């Protein structure tokens, strides 16, 4: 697989993108919609938040379904805005990295001014979606910390070796947005939700550290910082760190379940499934091979997101079965 198809600005031939008008294609590439890994990395956390709130606060099924649908639309616009902003700020760096030099802005397919306008319009669509379709909640206001962190994220790669932590906050604070969307006024005040947020941040750090290994050589040359760059000097340090992060993630999921008084299905699906799926990636990914890193990043997160969602959904189903 060519590096340029690993979120490097082009899509695999024969994909659904080929059916679109030619003028749309660079924007689909800008937004990383093929494959939609980035979109669903953004969507899974608010789903976690909705299902967690539904299970712990006994929310009606109609509200839960409504919140999940609205948040899918909001995640779509958020994904588009975040990637457009990231690529606009990173355009000069991307032009010097082998994998990313063919992204739409560096290759000239989208002008910087057009990318900025696109990012702003997508942000407005995101906020409008939350305000118009979740008017009885404070979901739009709850999204503010994540939006602020997203604006800063491209600069974090210049300031710290831990931009993955910043990204983790950007993507997973929406757990709180999901909780608000499900009718919980202040989910961030609940220990169970706090632990779920911590586990999800570690999940993003793990997967984005694997993703960052695709560009490790170029990042060192150009001066981009990341956890992959930080851990590169000691043999085996990166994989060891991933195991430690996975242990922390697993413990945080256990703590979240204990504070919420969740039952066995949560521990089997969310905790056990997460440990198994992420553990398989940490054990088997070849961090020296960009193709292996891309494969595990673009496909492996699906299983983890689904098992965490599955455990929370099982808890909510039990609540519905008991009739509160």
Q: Are 182 and 176 in contact (CB under 8 A)?
A: no
Which CATH architecture best describes the domain 3-10+22-322?
A: Orthogonal Bundle (1.10)
H-helix segments, the chain = 25-30, 37-57, 61-89, 91-94, 112-133, 139-142, 144-159, 163-172, 174-181, 191-212, 216-222, 227-230, 237-260, 264-266, 273-284, 290-322
How much is the pLDDT for 257? Answer: 98
Structure tokens belonging to residue 287: 């961090």
Domain borders along the chain are 3-10+22-322
The radius of gyration computed from the CA coordinates of the chain, to the nearest angstrom, equals 19
How much is the pLDDT for 266? Answer: 98
pLDDT(320) > 70? yes
pLDDT(73) > 80? yes
How much is the pLDDT for 106? Answer: 96
Quickly count: other Cβ atoms within 10 Å of residue 212's Cβ.
25
Average pLDDT of the chain to the nearest whole number: 94
How much is the pLDDT for 149? Answer: 98
Report the alpha-carbon distance of residue 320 to residue 309 in Å, rounded.
16
∠ CA 165-171-172, nearest 5°, is 85
How much is the pLDDT for 233? Answer: 84
Report the alpha-carbon distance of residue 88 to residue 238 in Å, rounded.
29
Read out DSSP for 236-291? Answer: THHHHHHHHHHHHHHHHHHHHHHHHT--HHHIIIIIIHHHHHHHHHHHH--TT-HH
User: Nearest CA to 196 among 268, 249, 150, 242?
Assistant: 249
How much is the pLDDT for 4? Answer: 55
Report the alpha-carbon distance of residue 205 to residue 152 in Å, rounded.
17
How much is the pLDDT for 2? Answer: 60
Q: Report pLDDT digits (tens) over 112-155.
A: 999 999 999 999 999 999 999 998 889 999 999 999 999 999 99
Q: Cis link prior to 35 (omega < 30° from 0)? A: yes
Global pTM reads 0.95
């Amino acid at each position: 697989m060519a590096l340029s198809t690993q979120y490097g600005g082009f899509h695999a031939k024969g994909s659904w993108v080929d059916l679109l008008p030619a003028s749309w294609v660079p924007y689909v590439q800008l937004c990383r919609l093929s494959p939609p890994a980035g979109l669903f990395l953004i969507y899974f956390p608010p789903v976690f938040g909705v299902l967690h709130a539904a299970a712990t606060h006994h929310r009606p099924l109609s509200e839960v379904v409504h919140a999940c649908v609205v948040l899918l639309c909001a995640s779509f616009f958020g994904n588009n805005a975040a990637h457009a902003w990231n690529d606009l700020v990173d355009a000069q760096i991307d032009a010097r990295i082998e994998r990313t030099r063919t992204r739409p802005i560096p290759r000239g397919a989208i002008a910087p001014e057009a990318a900025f306008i696109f990012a702003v319009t997508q942000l407005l669509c995101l906020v409008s979606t939350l305000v118009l379709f979740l008017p009885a909640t404070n979901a739009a206001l709850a999204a503010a910390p994540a939006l602020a962190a997203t604006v800063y994220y491209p600069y974090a790669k210049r300031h710290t070796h831990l931009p993955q932590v910043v990204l983790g906050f950007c993507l997973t604070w929406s757990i709180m947005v999901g909780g608000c969307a499900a009718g919980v006024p202040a989910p961030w005040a609940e220990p169970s939700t706090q632990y779920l947020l911590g586990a999800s941040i570690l999940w993003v750090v793990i997967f984005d550290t694997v993703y960052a290994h695709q560009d490790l050589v170029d990042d060192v040359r150009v001066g981009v910082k990341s956890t992959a760059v930080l851990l590169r000097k000691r043999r085996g340090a990166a994989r060891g760190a991933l195991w430690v992060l996975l242990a922390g993630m697993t413990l945080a999921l256990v703590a979240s379940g204990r504070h919420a008084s969740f039952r066995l299905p949560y521990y089997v699906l969310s905790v056990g499934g997460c440990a198994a799926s992420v553990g398989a990636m940490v054990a088997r990914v070849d961090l020296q091979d960009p193709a292996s890193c891309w494969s595990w990043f673009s496909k492996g997160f699906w299983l983890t997101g689904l098992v965490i969602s599955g455990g929370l959904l099982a808890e909510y189903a039990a609540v519905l079965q008991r009739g509160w």
